[in-house]
Amino acid sequence: MHRRNILWGAISALGAAFAASRASAAGEATPSTKLKVVYHLNDLDKVSFALGNIQNHFDGVGGPDNVTIALVVHGQALRAFHSASASPDVSKRVGQFSKAGLQIAACGNTMVSQNVTLKDLLPGFVAAERGGVVRIAELQSQGYLYIRP
C-alpha cells in the first residue's frame, strides 16, 4: 500500500512539473497580437474629442505599427469632414491619420442624406456603402474592439 502512494505521488509531481513547464513555454512563445479598434463617431460636437482620442491611442501604444484603428463616421458628425467646410485642425489630423494608416469610412446612407460624394469629403475617406453601423458590425466580427467617445 505504501509503494502505491509513493508511486502515485511521483506521478503527480511529474505531471505538475510538466504542466508548469508547458504553461511557461506557452507564455514565452505567444506573440503579441496587434490590437484592432474601431471608433464610432456620429455626434458633431464630439469630432475633436474623438480625433484627440485616436491621437492618444496611437501615442499610448507607440504608434500605428502597434495598433490598427478604423474610424466610422455617420450622422451629423460627417459634416465636420466636408472638405469645403472642415476646420484646419480636422483637415490636418485627417491627413496625418490617413498617412499613419487610419481607415476612415463614411456611412453611405449619411452621404446620400447629406448629398455628398467621396470627392466632397476630406481625402482618405472610403464609403461604407451598406451603412456605417453595418461597417462597425463587420469590423467587430473581424475582432475589432468597439469604442464610442
Tell me the pLDDT tens digit for each residue of 127-137: 999 999 999 99
Task: Report helix, strand or coil for 68.
Answer: strand
Q: pTM score, two decimals?
A: 0.78
The number of folded domains in the chain is: 2
C-alpha to C-alpha distance for 41 and 129, rounded to whole angstroms: 17
CATH of residue 70's domain is 3.40.1260.10
Residues of the domain holding 11: 1-30
Residues whose CB is less than 8 angstroms from the CB of residue 127 and which lie 6 or more positions away in sequence, other chains included: 105, 106, 108, 111, 118
The pLDDT assigned to 33 comes to 80
**One domain, residues 111 and 134:** yes
**One domain, residues 45 and 118:** yes
Percent of the chain with pLDDT over 90: 77
